[in-house]
Amino acid sequence: MDFAGKSTNEKQDLFLKDCFDILEDKLCGNDKKKGDFYLNCISHLTRHDSLTTTQIRECDKSTDEDGKKADKTYRQWLHNFIDEINSNRNRLQNKLSENNLMRFPKIEYVQGVKGREAHFFLSYASDIAEDFAGDADGSTSGDDSDYSTIRYKTEKIRRPPWYLRVAVSPFKTRKTRSIFALSALVGVFLILPLAIGYIYLLHPNNLVLVALFVLLLSANLMLASPTIKILRLITRKITIVDSIRLPLSSVCISEITRVVASDPSKTERRLSVVTVSANCPICNAKYGLDSSVLLEHQGLAHSRIIGVCYNNPMMHRYTFDKDLMTGERLRVNFQ
């Protein structure tokens, strides 16, 4: 995209809309009217000095005045957007360079005082975002010859595999995750194999039981891989999602949503299914390749997830940090 003729406000508008696109499922679900409300708020914030309580109501253009919600509800929706941006900031940093911004736009709220109406306004984060954003052309800050670090970018997947949709609710707390894992282990790796073995050994000639044997065997084969992936999510907080209908480098990440300092067992999590990629700094500088680094398991016998450049998979390998969305160049050992 050509940013030469765009103002800072226009770039901020594009950036915040990109952020909303990434966070839309969490904020709106399937509520399109609510999504339109957020987009209208973003447009107003990037074009005016502030967004007051009265103006927030006007951002809900899909409902007549009598059917609109209370002002408190609209304020809470916008606060939710602010909280989601702050909690997912590492995932959103790469959008800065994509929109040719050097600093992270920040939405702030001011309480009404001395007759002035409460309002939201755009400012900049106090920390130095340039270290994360890189140069305007997308390269990392510092020496242009430094090819040792990369920053990953994500793209959400709107329809994740069925077993991950089933696992969303049980993944919220440690207790429900433990019950879910134990049930899956017992059901898929104990009860089903025992039932299959019993039918095969004792009743091989009964047509009804043979049909049941085939059914149970098919269920076991279908559930084994999803169960292993869910167990990896519980123990390692990330797994690669292999599916014909999903893009390469699709992963499911177990993200923290709420921390209870007094009781770590009550820490709440959610599942995010995204496609992860990054620019290999070497191949990007030499050939202009974009998004050439994809995630894969390191070796057949290892479960570590690393980033591998498809142009030079033997030499251009990087670590992958799911929380920082960064990677460091790996030293290749051929021994």
How would you write the pLDDT of the chain (335 residues) with one tens digit per residue? Answer: 555 567 888 888 898 999 999 888 888 988 888 999 999 999 999 898 889 888 888 898 877 777 788 888 998 999 999 888 888 877 787 787 788 887 778 888 888 766 678 889 888 654 433 333 344 344 433 444 457 889 898 888 878 888 888 888 888 888 888 888 888 889 888 888 888 888 877 766 777 777 888 888 888 888 888 888 888 888 888 999 888 888 889 999 988 888 877 777 778 888 888 999 999 988 888 888 888 999 998 866 667 899 999 999 999 999 999 988 889 999 876 55
Measured over all CA atoms, what is the biggest interatomic distance in the chain, rounded to whole angstroms?
87
pLDDT of residue 40: 92
Give the span between the Cα atoms of 26 and 250, in whole angstroms. 19
Q: How many domains does the chain have?
A: 1
Q: Whole-model pTM?
A: 0.55
| 100 within a domain of the structure (yes/no) | yes
pLDDT of residue 310: 94
- Phi, psi for residue 297 in degrees, rounded to 5: -75, 145
| 15 within a domain of the structure (yes/no) | yes
CA separation (Å) from 326 to 231, 309, 310?
25, 15, 18
Cβ atoms within 10 Å of 266's Cβ, excluding its own: 13
| 334 within a domain of the structure (yes/no) | no
Both structure tokens of 257: 């949503």
| 45 within a domain of the structure (yes/no) | yes
Give the span between the Cα atoms of 202 and 103, in whole angstroms. 70
Range of the domain at 130: 8-141
| 112 within a domain of the structure (yes/no) | yes
| 281 within a domain of the structure (yes/no) | no
297 Cβ partners below 8 Å, 6+ apart? 240, 303, 304, 305, 306
Give the span between the Cα atoms of 224 and 188, in whole angstroms. 7
The CA angle 124-145-321, to the nearest 5 degrees, is 55
CB 279 within 8 A of CB 297: no
Give the span between the Cα atoms of 332 and 274, in whole angstroms. 28
| 17 within a domain of the structure (yes/no) | yes
Give the span between the Cα atoms of 22 and 74, in whole angstroms. 20
Closest to 313 measured CA to CA, from 285, 286, 283, 288: 283
